[in-house]
Amino acid sequence: MAATLPVGVPVGIGHTWQGSWLCHDVAEYEPGFHYTVTSDANTPWSTESACWILERCGDQSYSIRHFVTGEWLACAEEFMPGARRRYALTAPPSGDPSTDRMLQWQFKPFEGGLFGLKNVGANDWIYVGEMQMDAHKRHVLTFSCGDPAEAAAMLWVVQPAGPSTTPLSLKGLGIWSGASTSTARGRENEEEEESDEDAEPMALSKTTAVCKRTKNKRSWVHRLRSCAAV
């Protein structure tokens, strides 16, 4: 798998089901931590906000660093209220992926050059659902259940984005023999409030049936795992 992932060069990370690219956003989740989004208006060939650098941080894991800010792709430690999902964020550049598992990612390969991305520390798959930031951007989230083999919302492509590369069209890449299109629309709770039900990503896999609904009534505490030694 290592040979299929461009390491140490600018890349775009595309969400194949919706045809949009992973971007750093200027909106802060907490001081020093920013939301990540997918955008249908920005591509790795039109803006550096959609460019990332992959580096190895172990035999089977990678760090994902933003090309401009140097921030690390991470995810929130706490679940969103009443749900098994978290925000995908960027953490301060002072973080250390060699020791912080929340900054480490595994790329599971699938047919057609597609990947599922799993956060090592949270053991969550990264995905994009219906939760919008604005008309052109959707929040990137992680989910504790599901399987990219049957969930198109969890499939991504990694594409070199240097000046000599050819822009890639994402249209149709997420629909292939291993992806279930009949479950392409799942129910998702869009409101950040207490709920007894889990919010589910689009294109739910059958494996989510084993995820039991939670009765946890805690308010969500906006707290992240420390990503930097201070």
* pLDDT digits (tens), the chain, 230 positions: 434 799 999 999 999 888 899 999 999 999 999 999 999 889 999 999 999 999 999 888 999 999 999 999 999 989 888 888 999 999 999 999 999 999 999 999 998 899 999 999 999 999 998 888 988 899 999 998 888 998 989 999 999 997 778 877 776 565 433 333 333 333 333 333 333 334 444 444 433 332 322 222 222 122 222 222 22
**Per-residue CA distances from 108 to 26, 48, 126, 143, 218 (Å):** 29, 25, 12, 15, 33
Q: Which residues pair with 127 in a beta bridge?
A: 141
First to last CA, the chain: 35
- 3-state SS of the chain is CHHHCCCCCEEEEEECCCCEEEEEEEEEEECCEEEEEEECCCCCCCCHHHCEEEEECCCCCEEEEECCCCCEEEECCCCCCCCCEEEEEEECCCCCCCCCHHHCEEEEEEHHHEEEEEECCCCEEEEEEEEEEECCEEEEEEECCCCCCCCHHHCEEEEECCCCCCCCCCCCCCCCCCCCCCCCCCCCCCCCCCCCCCCCCCCCCHHHHHCCCCCCCCCCCCCCCCCCCC
Q: What is the pLDDT of residue 109?
A: 94
Q: What is the pLDDT of residue 173?
A: 60
